[in-house]
């Protein structure tokens, strides 16, 4: 366990993917307080740890004790994410968490992919 200390405040935190996502728990969200969290890693490994990670965000944010709006930015479409969003939507609103979805696409060279714009 890491030594206790004050939380760290950042504008943007990129959450790890694959097996590293298992290290993101409620203690992480208690200590790393971000205006935006980017959830990436569209692979089968991420699907297995996605729900605990999302639930940890709710639990960790609840313990902040201050009212800071948080935006969650998934970079992939996921059934787990959709289910979590539906099941916890009221709780997200209580805690000031917005899940950013986007139907926008960006075309670069011969490739198109979903995208969203985040401004600070």
Rounded CA separation 33/56 (Å): 13
Three-state DSSP state, 8: strand
Per-residue pLDDT for the chain (120 aa), expressed as one digit of tens each?
566 789 999 999 998 866 677 788 999 999 999 999 998 766 665 677 888 999 999 999 999 988 899 999 888 778 888 899 999 999 999 999 999 876 667 788 888 876 666 666
Q: Which residues contact 4 (CB under 8 A, 6 or more apart)?
A: none
- Looking from the CA of 74 toward its CB, the CA atoms found within 13 Å total 23
Work out whether the CA dihedral 52, 91, 12, 38 comes out positive or negative: positive
Q: Would the pTM of this model clear 0.85, i.e. be above it?
A: no
């Amino acid at each position: 366990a890491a030594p206790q200390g004050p939380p760290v405040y950042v504008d943007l935190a990129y959450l790890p993917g694959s097996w590293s996502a298992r290290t993101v728990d409620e203690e992480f969200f208690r200590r790393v307080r971000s205006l935006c969290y980017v959830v990436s890693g569209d692979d089968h490994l991420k699907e297995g740890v996605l729900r605990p990670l999302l639930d940890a965000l709710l639990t960790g944010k609840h313990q902040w004790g201050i009212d800071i709006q948080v935006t969650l930015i998934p970079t992939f479409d996921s059934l787990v994410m959709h289910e979590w969003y539906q099941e916890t939507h009221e709780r997200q609103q209580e805690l000031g968490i917005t899940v950013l979805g986007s139907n926008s696409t960006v075309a670069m060279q011969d490739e198109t992919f979903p995208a969203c714009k985040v401004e600070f």
